[in-house]
Chains A and B, each alone.
Chain A
């Protein structure tokens, strides 16, 4: 069983739709990371959160430590949101050694 699982693997949405990407993990963690990988390959860190909810623009990340689950929401989606969204959790005691999910490929159509 993968230690970090994301769903769905692929997601197609129409512009303006509300989008949810889920991440479940099996290890105990201190924080969870959400990352965005653009079609060219570059990766941007979106959030690092250890409890509750964080918001940045149209992006919202939530985490439930007890249930070992996090969600990334995109409100009023736009074609420029099309990317791979990756969640990652630390392991091994050193909190910046990360286990990465395989990513969710999001395509937002105009």
Chain B
């Protein structure tokens, strides 16, 4: 079955620690996205990638980093510079960056210890 897999489902971060959230897709999509969801707010775009080895900052990129070494994979690192990392993180992909439906993963809930 084609889809997007995010792992882990729950993640805990200690003070000063970097953590990496995994996102893998087998849909052969070029574009991938990372969103953050906070209570009472709409999803906000952290980073997006149009193609392998290319990615762009979204609206709230500070304190995050990404890589796109393979078409299937778009991991997100939450660095120690992100002072308020507790949120629900969603990864998505689409055929391209232009006017297509986005397919979402099940999300990772990150909490700070």
Contact = CB atoms under 8 A, between A and B. Distances in A.
Contact of B103 (A4, A31, A40, A45): A45
A95 B99 CA distance: 5
A104 B34 CA distance: 22
Chain B interface helix/strand/loop/mixed: loop
Interface of B: 31, 33, 40-45, 48, 58, 88, 90, 92, 94, 96-107, 109
A57 B106 CA distance: 23
A103 B38 CA distance: 12
Contact of B98 (A4, A40, A96): A96
Given A4-B42, A86-B42, A96 B107 contact: no
Interface in A8-24: none
B84 to A, nearest CB: 18
Contacts of B101: 33, 45, 48
Interface residues of A, number: 25
A49 to B, nearest CB: 11
Contacts of A48: 99-101
Interface of A: 4, 30-31, 33, 35, 40-45, 48, 86, 88, 90, 94-103
B43 A94 contact: no
B28 to A, nearest CB: 16
